[in-house]
Amino acid sequence: MITLAEENYLKAILSISLSKKGRVSTNAIADEINTSAASVSDMLKKLQEKKLIKYQKYKGLELSKKGYNLAISIIRKHRLWETFLVNKLAFNWSEVHDIAEQLEHIKSTELINKLDAYLNYPKFDPHGEPIPTQTGKIPTSNTTVLNKLKIGSKGTVMGVTIDEKPFLDYLTQLNISIGTKIKLLEKIGFDQSLNIKIENQTFHISKNVAEHLLIKKE
């Protein structure tokens, strides 16, 4: 029996390993989950006993095949529920993360597969994150972060690298969402902030915001 806390750890480990590649450190997990390194160490012992991770002290860890498959299924459920909440129940993209955190622990595989079919097998969630398929395959997209575009380039917002509510609410204030067309007008040398054009309006955004916006270049 896998507990909710253990599922959350597996999801965090997978998220870190996908973004950074290679073995995952205890400190990285502590930062991701916002807990102490001691608490992480205690949990890792439980996960290792259940053969969900391969852990070597001072060398980090990786998910076992069993742990990887379980983590992928949790992420799949989370992103499908986010998609359902936005597309079918008209939730704002900044409102769905916490709700999906609760729904992702539903065990029924049949329900999730029917949800996937009902949504017409979406490849990406409302934040642009790839939704793993039933077999665990992760879709890919050809995107780059906004601040790596050249001056004068145009592109379409395809996703964000963080889905925290304050950040998403800020983007909404700027009329930025998935599908928004953006033109990069200027990059300020002093702080690497950007002037961008959306439709007929010009906005100034920080480097921090720009490096979390995933763009498909035209």
Q: pLDDT for 189-201, tens place per residue?
A: 899 999 999 999 9
Q: Which residue has the higher pLDDT, 38 or 80?
A: 80
pLDDT of residue 94 exceeding 90, the answer is yes
52 belongs to a structural domain:
yes
Q: What is the CATH number of the domain that holds 132?
A: 1.10.10.10
Work out the mean pLDDT of the chain and round it to a whole number: 93
Mean pLDDT of 66-92: 96
* Domain membership of residue 44 as a residue range: 4-63
Q: What is the CATH number of the domain that holds 155?
A: 2.30.30.90
CA distances from 5 to 105, 115, 176, 205 (A): 10, 24, 34, 37
Sequence-distant (≥ 6) Cβ neighbours of residue 163 within 8 angstroms: 93, 97, 127, 129
Verify that 169 and 202 share a domain, yes or no: yes
What is the Cα–Cα distance from 133 to 79, expressed in whole angstroms? 11
Identity of the residue numbered 169: D
93 belongs to a structural domain:
yes
